[in-house]
Amino acid sequence: MINKNFFLVLIILFAIFSRFIPHPPNFTPITAIALLSSKGFTNRWIIFLIPIISLFISDLFLGLHDSIPFVYGAFILITLLGISAKKISIGTVLMSSTIFFLISNFGVWFYNYPLTLNGLISCYTLAVPFFLNTILGDLAYCTILIYPYFALRKNKLIST
């Protein structure tokens, strides 16, 4: 039997390291980490800290930027979505991708574009190609990280 916390920490470490391998922009595991921590842990502090710590550790190496409050805020909301969802489904993952797209790009607009309606429209329009990467990355990593966890837990191979 695998210890649940050990398994979750391994998944999170894998996800952090996967941000360092070459990948398309926004094709990252952080949504999967946020959703998995919302269902895998019971301590409310840990649930919210796991995705933020995962981001922060990798951001220290990849680079800090001015829209961090928006990016981190998006993952706090995604974690809240995971807590409130009965189960993690494709709909939950797509809603998470949308939350990230809307909030993170609002931050990009706020710091890097004219603070006008045209600037906002331009920012979101130019971000659409990244949204596809976000969706694909979220679906891929949620499949790789979340579903094995629940399959192992269902088969009683992970302690609860």
Phi/psi region, residue 27 (left: phi>0; alpha: psi -120 to 50; beta: rest), is beta
pLDDT in tens, the chain (160 residues): 778 778 778 877 887 888 888 999 999 999 999 999 999 888 889 899 989 988 998 899 999 999 999 999 999 999 999 999 999 999 999 999 999 999 999 999 999 999 999 999 999 999 999 999 999 999 999 999 888 888 888 888 787 6
Sign of the C-alpha dihedral, residues 132, 59, 108, 95? positive
φ, ψ dihedrals at 42, nearest 5°: -105, -25
Number of H helices, E strands in the chain: 6, 0
Spatial neighbors of 57 by CB under 8 A, at least 6 apart, are 16
Stated pTM of the model:
0.91
